[in-house]
Structure 1
Amino acid sequence: MDVKTFRDLHHDRAPGDPLILPGPWDAASARAFAGAGFPALATPSAGIAESLGYEDGATPADEMFAAVTRIVRAVTDYGIPVSADLESGYGLPPRELVDRALSAGAVGVNLEDSNPSGLADPHEHAARLAEIRTAAGDALFVNARVDTYVRGVPDLDETVRRARLYVEAGADAVYPILAPEDALPTLYSSIPAPVNALSVANGPNPAELGRLGVARVTFGPGLLRRVMGVAREIAKELR
């Protein structure tokens, strides 16, 4: 499946029917999700970090790209696309970042507007996204993560402002991670691009998120942690 088909999956979604993108953290989990019939996958950087023994945000770029490559290779026979969470881009120049994502086989990238120091300047981040769009052309789907809520700036107006800047810069979708449920209708109506929401335990299910205007649902490291919960129970039984 090419990037155009992946891009099309985000549009004209019926209410309550968002694009659900499970997050594989390795080749085995990728095959499990692909075998279940999902049309695409989206890797979680935090999930890959945990699977490799790193703290979230501490995975070296080479290891992240290698993990994405293995995941893409694992589902080649299923013919489904994989989008890669590349955090804030590892400080790579736009051309190199695009080339490495494409070399790994990804059809999309998730890029966040924060770093260890906090939120990035939105205009500077928008300029970087524009450079990435120029380097990629139509070859990559760019999902721009907005980190206001996750960074302790729960300002809906600021979230919308950043999201609109990123769409103007060429982002295909925006991801206001951890935006509260009651903010989603405003985000949907204010942003001229598909909105990605994070599905969390005890939160709205994917269908409910879709009815709030969400076009795409991802899970971060949540699926890995559910699997690890089962693994811990098995370990207790064996012990």
Structure 2
Amino acid sequence: MTAMTDYLQAVFAMLGPGEERYADPAAWLSLEEELGRTLPGDYKQIVDAYAPVQINGHLTLSHPASSWWNLGEEIRSASEVWADSKWQSSITGPDDDPRVFCQLPQLSFGTTEGLIPIAATDQGAAVFVASSVHGFSDGVVVQGAEGDWVGHPMTFAEWLYRHLVGEEMTGWDSAAFCIACEAGGRMPNYRRFTCKWPSTPYRIPRLVIAQDTTIRRLSTSTTCRISRPHRISTRQTPITQ
């Protein structure tokens, strides 16, 4: 990937066509008015295309127009938890202090100038968007499962692409998908497999990115219960749609 790569289109190519089940500009407008800021356009396009969804059984994305795994509810709940947490306990210096690399006098969550929780992994990482990360507008901030804070000066689409191809994007030793071919580091051909099930409570579509050598194993399991995302609201709301 070069500096000119369109990471949004690269993500779409990897995940396949989105269903856009809940795409609703009014829902985004209402959420952004509540937050007092706009959310990154590439993030909204990815969420509109696939969410609510769990990607590769690890990364969870919620949607503002869905009644289950609702993004607005998740942001409010997670922000309350983070505000009461000892988030600074793992900071060792300015390099891993979000107040420094986000240029904030103090850290807040779910506020106009603070960190907005937008995704989570089942491995315990929390993903945020911040107004500035190392001087990059609307960059990504992650606290990994070990409590380490990392600022990624890049778009959400680039962050997601790098996460999916196996880079350590959710904290120390966090690579979840090591799928580059040994021969010259060339990427394999991707296939998309979507687990499907009846619309029963507490279940969610899952996108699985796999090489041809693993798609058959994955296809033997057609249902999968969700893992509630770490540090995201544990309230479970039955599906009503």
Give TM-score scaled by structure 2 length. 0.24
Higher helix share: 1
The structure, 1 or 2, with the larger RCO (C-alpha pairs under 8 Å, 6+ apart) is: 1
